[in-house]
Amino acid sequence: MPDELLLMFGEPAHVIDFDLTPERKMARGDAKIVYEAMTTKGYYMQMPPAEVEKMGNMTPPPERLDNIF
């Protein structure tokens, strides 16, 4: 891991082991990209979802606010 990332995030902690293949289905990432990063750089940086992504699963607000009570 690059020294800059270690300074920002601190000492890494082991969390989970799993078999990674380029064909594996992943929730938020492309397994082929993750696999390539792990084999070439030795790590993969996944950032938390942006606020817009988090809200993507929310139901839209009502068209008018005077009819919600």
pLDDT of residue 53: 60
Q: Which residues contact 19 (CB under 8 A, 6 or more apart)?
A: none
pLDDT of residue 39: 92
Each domain of the chain, given as residue ranges in start order, spans 3-67
pLDDT higher at 57 or 23: 23
Judged against a pLDDT cut of 60, whether residue 60 lies above it is answered with yes
Give the pLDDT confidence of 26-57 residue by residue, as tens digits: 888 899 999 999 999 988 888 877 766 666 66
Q: Which residues contact 40 (CB under 8 A, 6 or more apart)?
A: none
Q: 34-64 in b/e burial notation, b at 16+ Cβ within 10 A?
A: bbeeeeeeeeeeeeeeeeeeeeeeeeeeeee
pLDDT of residue 33: 93
Mean of per-residue pLDDT scores for the chain = 80
